Amino acid sequence: MSTSNVSLKNWVDEVARLTQPASIYWCTGSDAENSNLIEAMLESGDLIKLNQTTHPNCYLHRSDPSDVARVEHLTFVCTRSKEDAGPNNNWMEPGEAHRKVDALFAGAMRGRTLYVIPYCMGPIDSPYSRCGVEITDSPYVVANMRIMTRMGTEALRRIEREGSFVKGLHSIGDLSPERRYIMHFPEELTIKSIGSGYGGNALLGKKCHALRIASWQARDEGWLAEHMLIMGLQNPEGRTHYIAAAFPSACGKTNLAMLVPPASMPGWKIWTVGDDICWMQVDDEGRLRAINPEAGYFGVVPGTNSKTNHNAYDMIRRDTIFTNVAVTADGQPWWEGLEEGTPTTNWKGQPYTPGDGPAAHPNSRFTVSAKRNPIYSTLADAPEGVPISAILFGGRRREVAPLVYEAHDWAHGVLVGAGMASETTAAAVGQTGVVRRDSMAMKPFCGYNFGDYWQHWLSFEHKAKQLPRIFHVNWFRRDAQGRFMWPGFGENLRVLRWITERCEGKVGAQETAIGHLPRRQDFDLYGLDVDTATLDALLSVDAAAWRTEMQEIGTYLDQFGARVPDALRAQQRKVLAALG
């Protein structure tokens, strides 16, 4: 198999000359191809077969211990102007970056197969979708990209029709952290990643294309590429609202996208459109419509069980690739938070001793087709996408942020998103538990200057006639003893119900300087095990704490200098003044 696209053929030939593979293979995405890859990886040790009775068609991959998370300090955006990349990105001059990384690619695939992976991000026939091609020497990447994207012959045919695609070059290299780079060239629609086999660094359709490169494309083409889940909420009367929500990694996005309604709220249904990435465009009627560009889930697995995320727990019991989990004596995958089983081998493949660190890596993952989700929305395959009623921002905040509040208007909502903060998690290399600003949960993923990005968000006030309402949520407030104040999980539907009823104009709110908060009488409290004092604390605004918060947001905005939109600074000053 080859291609009629001359540009693609020439690029593959050029990469082959540089990397010197033993052979070249064009991926079709077929079942037979996947079976052959799986068998070859089992033979090489890249995959380990798990208990096929309890977990049919499930396999384990172990990363190099130095290669278990995104490496933000080794991830670069390479634009001609450093200002275009912005302080939110590591920058390198494109010529220097190409020279540095190409020297590492020279001969990197000797003795290996070069795989050509044509893929489509989004439904294959959607005008909102965009295509790419990843070249890799990792069969593990091929198997994961088959799950995560629409990969293979149909994607190649679309590329040949349209003529355009994002170029992604990847090699595991020698897995040395000293020779590891993830380079993005948005002006060239090109990605080069070497020295890592870990998901976000190696599955180039995911964060690299669908966020860093796509955010640049979206700015140029007038749409939004966001780090957001997409979920449908169907009320007992049968009306469905679609919500997009941005949370930093490991802050419960997958759990929320697959929420199971509590028994005290009969008649509600949840539909998952996507759990991680959302592309939004203005439709002919002036509404924001969204597609999920992914076809699978690459989810954090620790903490997943039948109670915390019943749907995810069910779907990963078959047809799943696990990465860096522990294993029981009878070959079942195991991770912290699992209610059954005992690990005998840790994520490194060593005998597990209780008390000697976690058995599964805290950032261990599962890769599974979205169609395995029991509440998968068939509209995830709809070319026209779904209309978005509300956008949620949120993160892990022990203090300050109420359970939920609604922005005053779109421009204020952009400030809410720009100023959102969260405690860091194991999804990225570095210290955990540190509060950092993470605008729209895009700090590691926006492919250009945040100041320009916020201006792009503000511009939709003039592009769309029916903009979604914007809200901020915080499931992670703690009391003085460090205990979570809100039960979370299925009970989060109570918050989502208030949000959808605000969108329908059915319920009021208390007006505050930071936005509209629920009044207790407008909140569904039936069957809720939260005392009145705690609920009041969750739905209150500490003016002194918020003055500090808004001052810190102002300092944060200052990092981006003249690129910060005047309208955003005006919103920050307005809220600060209202706090007194």
- Candidates 305, 331, 327; CA nearest to 316 is 305
Is residue 51 marked as binding? no
Is residue 311 marked as binding? no
> What is d(CA 270, CA 256) in angstroms, rounded to the nearest whole number?
10
Q: Is the pLDDT of residue 425 over 60?
A: no
> How does pLDDT run across 513-542, given as a tens digit for each residue?
999 999 999 988 999 999 999 999 999 999
Angle between helices 94-105 and 6-19 (to 10 degrees): 60
What's the mean pLDDT in 293-311? 94
Is residue 491 marked as binding? yes
What's the mean pLDDT in 490-507? 97
Q: Which residues pair with 26 in a beta bridge?
A: 116
Predicted TM-score of the model (pTM): 0.96
Is residue 199 marked as binding? yes
* Strands of 55-123, DSSP E: 59-61, 75-77, 90-91, 113-121
Is residue 252 marked as binding? yes
The identity of residue 309, as a single letter, is N
- At 167 the pLDDT is 98
For 353, counting Cβ atoms within 10 Å of its Cβ (0-12 exposed, 13-18 middle, 19+ buried), the class is: exposed
Indicate which residues carry an active-site annotation: 251
The domains found in the chain, sorted by start residue, are 6-46+74-221 (3.40.449.10), 225-296+378-578 (3.90.228.20), 297-372 (2.170.8.10)
The DSSP-derived string for 133-167 is EEEES-HHHHHHHHHHSEESHHHHHHHHHH---EE
Instruction: Give me the helices (H) in 192-259, please.
Output: 199-202, 214-221, 253-257
- At 250 the pLDDT is 66
- Candidates 310, 249, 223, 560; CA nearest to 432 is 249
Is residue 200 marked as binding? yes
What's the mean pLDDT in 158-181? 97
Residue 423: pLDDT band by 50, 70, 90 thresholds? confident
Q: Is the pLDDT of residue 161 over 70?
A: yes
Q: Is the pLDDT of residue 428 over 70?
A: no
Is residue 207 marked as binding? yes
- At 70 the pLDDT is 85
What's the mean pLDDT in 4-20? 97
Specify the residue for token string 């949960």: 441
- Candidates 261, 262, 287, 290; CA nearest to 276 is 290
- At 102 the pLDDT is 98
Residue 405: pLDDT band by 50, 70, 90 thresholds? very high
> How does pLDDT run across 107-119, given as a tens digit for each residue?
999 999 999 999 9
